[in-house]
Amino acid sequence: MKPADYKIYLASKSPRRRELLRQIGVEFELLLLRDAAPRGPEVNEDVHPGEKAEDYVVRVTRAKAEFAAKMMMMRRLPIRPVMAADTTVVIDGRILGKPADQADAMDMLRALSGRTHQVLTSVALHRDEDNWQTLQTSEVRFAPISEDMIRAYCATSEPYDKAGGYGIQGLASVFIAHIAGSYTGIMGLPLHETASLLNQAGIPVLGPVR
């Protein structure tokens, strides 16, 4: 393969995922999915009744990758592998998505305060007729958080585009007493597992050998 053939499409709006792919030398272009009006989302991220968190995050990630691959074909873009990812936070079996507003973000942080929760990230890669997918799970323990700290954090812009209402790499790092698993998975893209998927598809990490 020529170096230009190693480029992928990333179907994600997350700036953290872009930073992480750049960190391991993966070349990519964005292939963004619609998630708002006027016609609504292109991938439905509603939780199905009784759906387990693991099944939910795998299903949503697969749907994002499949739709992005179809969009690549419909737009007649250069054919490249398509990567999608999704992250969810779970406590007591309850799935915490992105907070709808400040009150929702504060409720999430109250639920996480002083407790251990799980962060699940799935990554899917489509290339031609081949599909690869992985699921990575980490545990995060929050120290007790005062109401004043919750209010101050939720007055910033940080909680509102992140599952569970916090970002481990930002201001919320002061809440975190312990993690077990993948730091980059908690950020939104587990790099060890992502590199494995890319290698299976013949795409080098750390940049192509020149």
Q: Where are the domains of the chain?
A: 3-200
* CA distance to 17, 112, 121, 127, 138, per residue, from 85 (Å): 9, 23, 7, 15, 15
User: What pTM value is reported for the model?
Assistant: 0.89
pLDDT at residue 3, rounded to an integer: 46
Q: Are strands 28-30 and 82-91 parallel, antiparallel or unpaired?
A: unpaired
pLDDT at 137: 98
CB 42 within 8 A of CB 75: no
d(Cα 66, Cα 57) in Å, to the nearest integer? 14
| Four-residue CA torsion sign, 161, 100, 134, 69 | negative
Cα(199)–Cα(210) distance, rounded to whole angstroms? Answer: 17
> Does 86 participate in catalysis according to the annotation?
yes
| Chosen CATH of 3-200 out of 3.20.20.140, 2.30.140.10, 3.90.950.10, 3.60.21.10 | 3.90.950.10
Hey, is 23 helix, strand or coil?
A: helix
What pLDDT tens digit does each residue of the chain (210 aa) get? 444 468 999 999 899 999 999 999 999 999 976 654 344 457 888 899 999 999 999 999 999 999 999 999 999 999 999 999 999 999 999 999 999 999 999 999 999 999 999 999 999 999 988 999 999 999 999 999 999 999 999 999 999 999 999 999 999 999 999 999 999 999 999 999 999 999 998 888 876 555
C-alpha to C-alpha distance for 110 and 61, rounded to whole angstroms:
28
Cα–Cα distances (Å) from 70 to 33, 81, 82, in that order, read: 11, 12, 10
Catalytic residue among 35, 46, 86, 107: 86
